[in-house]
Amino acid sequence: MIRVLLADDEHLIRGAMAALLALEDDLTVSAQAATGAETLSMARALHPDVAIIDLQLPDMDGVRVAEVLHRELPTCRTMIVTSHGLPGHLRRALAAGVRGFLPKTAAAEVLATVIRTVAAGGRYVDPQLAAEAISAGDSPLTTRETDVLTLAATGAPIDEIARRASLSPGTVRNYLSAAAGKLGAANRHEAARRAREQGWI
Amino acid sequence: MIRVLLADDEHLIRGAMAALLALEDDLTVSAQAATGAETLSMARALHPDVAIIDLQLPDMDGVRVAEVLHRELPTCRTMIVTSHGLPGHLRRALAAGVRGFLPKTAAAEVLATVIRTVAAGGRYVDPQLAAEAISAGDSPLTTRETDVLTLAATGAPIDEIARRASLSPGTVRNYLSAAAGKLGAANRHEAARRAREQGWI
DNA sequence: GGCCGTTTATGACAGATGTCACCGATGCGT
DNA sequence: ACGCATCGGTGACATCTGTCATAAACGGCC
């Protein structure tokens, strides 16, 4: 029997997925969590075979949860389920030791199959998403460019970005100009949008 | 027996919700759709009692689907399920004749209850969301201000917005300035973000 | 040691943007 | 008929933003 931990902040979806998995004889949902912290404490207590983690959790990123899980409980395989299948997320997830990556647009039937694959030590990545991730390539932005662009994404004026990043306004403008150039955007706002679409910020 | 049509572009979620509803004796999922067009044609063919429609569908807005359904098949009650429970969406949905509005964060147990309530001619709105919608009030933006701000939300420069809206650049700036003023934003990008958070664009 | 990329910064310039005053046209309610 | 909000526009001004040249400090790599 494969023991599964389900982590998703959307109760309705979590409950529905639990109902879906209950139909399988060899799977059992032994715990459900709504936040990253909850996921970690439950996993530590129950040692599930597979943790299915939503990418968007209220307190922390699903990939970071997987990272900690991978370090603390190497026997617990992790997989990510997400609404927004962005190339950058997949890259980060694989780097964090995630064994399965499934967009919520995937067919309902594959979920159980992937859980079994992952539990057996295999890997599974949605084929279409994998293709996109490969063709999209890696983020061309440096660490600081990413930081600054992330702050810029809220729509804040340069002075505020500078204050929040503890940089001079001039430096902020330089980074944003560089980022916009790399992303082929006419201004920082379009740059932020493009970076978001790729999952780079 | 209440016959339900499930519309959600996320296959996995749709299947999971179907599994959840299959546990109820008095409910049956008689059709599933992934797009707005599919939803309409299936509803026309099968005349379900309740249509559960996701707000985000690839081809058209869930509320617009509900609107058409309400006009063409008055006997089919509609309810909206959504990941992002924004006040503005709730307002639009209720204006379109939607009888139930449920964020996906709602408890899994309430779904069946709400379906029964709606099927019986009642209404149900998530209490927390209702409170937010009331406190947030209506959009202060005029039609054109909303149009222009929507175009501005992509991060495009003013000239492009002007071209796409068939307006002079000066007029666009006036509208955006007015919108930013009304929303208490320092610039159009922050204004766009705030309007999005309220579900106004 | 020298080269290269990254981080941080400054100064200068052109162009984009936000703001305001003001204008006319349209349409709606009373 | 009048007022009022909305729509569309122009012009002027100050400020914000994007771009570029330039440079010092730091770390990694050959």
Do B127 and B178 fall within a single domain? no
Last residue of a domain, one of A102, A118, A136: A136
- Checking phi first, is residue B150 left (phi over 0); if not, alpha (psi -120 to 50) or beta? alpha
Residue B13's pLDDT is what? Answer: 97
Last residue of a domain, one of A136, A160, A188: A136
Which of strand C's nucleotides are less than 7 A from any protein C-beta? 5-12, 16-22
Residue B90's pLDDT is what? Answer: 92
Cα separation, A158 vs A164, in Å, equals 10
Do A64 and A128 fall within a single domain? yes
Question: Looking at chain A from residue 31 to 50, which residues have their Cβ under 8 Å from any Cβ of chain B?
Answer: none
Do B169 and B71 fall within a single domain? no
* pLDDT higher than threshold 90 for residue A33: yes
Cα separation, A36 vs A59, in Å, equals 6
Residue A42's pLDDT band, with cuts at 50, 70 and 90, is: very high
Do A126 and A159 fall within a single domain? no
Short-list B177, B175, B174, CA closest to B185: B177
Do A125 and A163 fall within a single domain? no
Cα A43 to Cα A32, A53, B86, B166: the distances in Å are 10, 12, 33, 56
Residue B139's pLDDT is what? Answer: 86
Residue A107's pLDDT is what? Answer: 95
Cα separation, B190 vs A155, in Å, equals 4
| CATH classification at residue A175 | 1.10.10.10
Question: Who contacts A77 (Cβ-Cβ below 8 Å, separation ≥6)?
Answer: A49, A50, A51, A99, A100, A118, A119, A121
Sign of CA dihedral B187, B192, B193, B199: positive
Cα separation, B77 vs B66, in Å, equals 9
Short-list A136, A148, A143, CA closest to A177: A148
- Checking phi first, is residue B199 left (phi over 0); if not, alpha (psi -120 to 50) or beta? left
Cα separation, A126 vs A90, in Å, equals 10
Residue A14 contacts B, CB cutoff 8 Å: yes
Short-list A111, A88, A108, A84, CA closest to A100: A111
Do A109 and A18 fall within a single domain? yes
User: In A, which residues are within 8 Å of B19 by CB distance?
Assistant: 16, 19-20, 22-23, 108
B70 contacts B24 by C-beta, under 8 angstroms: no
Give tens-digit pLDDT for A148-186: 999 999 999 999 999 999 999 999 999 999 999 999 999
Residue B133's pLDDT is what? Answer: 86
Q: What is the 3-state secondary structure (H, E, C) of chain B?
A: CEEEEEECCCHHHHHHHHHHHHCCCCEEEEEEECCHHHHHHHHHHHCCCEEEEECECCCCEHHHHHHHHHHHCCCCEEEEEECCCCHHHHHHHHHCCCCEEEECCCCHHHHHHHHHHHHCCCCEECHHHHHHHHHHCCCCCCHHHHHHHHHHCCCCCHHHHHHHHCCCHHHHHHHHHHHHHHHCCCCHHHHHHHHHHHCCC
Do B158 and B115 fall within a single domain? no
A147 CA to C1 C1' in angstroms comes to: 33
A126 contacts A104 by C-beta, under 8 angstroms: no
Cα A72 to Cα A37, A78, B170: the distances in Å are 14, 12, 59
Give yes or no for CB of B170 within 7 Å of strand D: yes
Could you tell me which chain A residue has the CA closest to the CA of B180?
A155
* pLDDT higher than threshold 80 for residue A201: yes
**Dmax (CA) of chain A:** 62
User: Which residue in the set B111, B157, B187 is minimally distant from A157, CB to CB?
Assistant: B187
* pLDDT higher than threshold 80 for residue A92: yes
Mean pLDDT in residue range A33-50: 97
Domain residue limits at B157: 143-198
Answer whether B12 sits within 8 Å of A191, measured CB to CB.
no
Give yes or no for CB of B187 within 7 Å of strand D: yes
| B6, B13, B55: best to mutate for the A interface, most A CBs within 10 A | B13
Do B82 and B121 fall within a single domain? yes
Last residue of a domain, one of A110, A136, A162: A136
> How many C-alpha atoms does A109 have within 13 Å on its Cβ side?
0
B149 contacts B195 by C-beta, under 8 angstroms: yes
Mean pLDDT in residue range B124-139: 88
Question: Looking at chain B from residue 49 to 108, which residues have their Cβ under 8 Å from any Cβ of chain A?
Answer: 81, 83, 102-108
Do A148 and A119 fall within a single domain? no
Residue A22 contacts B, CB cutoff 8 Å: yes
Do B21 and B75 fall within a single domain? yes
Mean pLDDT in residue range A95-120: 95
Question: Looking at chain A from residue 121 to 180, which residues have their Cβ under 8 Å from any Cβ of chain B?
Answer: 154-157
Number of domain units in chain A: 2
Do B159 and B103 fall within a single domain? no
Answer whether B13 sits within 8 Å of A9, measured CB to CB.
no
Which of strand D's nucleotides are less than 7 A from any protein C-beta? 5-12, 16-22
User: Which residue in the set A11, A22, A23 is minimally distant from B106, CB to CB?
Assistant: A11
A vs B, Cβ pairs < 8 A, gives 105
> How many C-alpha atoms does B139 have within 13 Å on its Cβ side?
27
Give tens-digit pLDDT for B29-69: 999 999 999 999 999 999 999 999 999 999 999 999 999 99
| CATH classification at residue A19 | 3.40.50.2300
Do A26 and A88 fall within a single domain? yes
User: In A, which residues are within 8 Å of B155 by CB distance?
Assistant: 185-187, 189-193
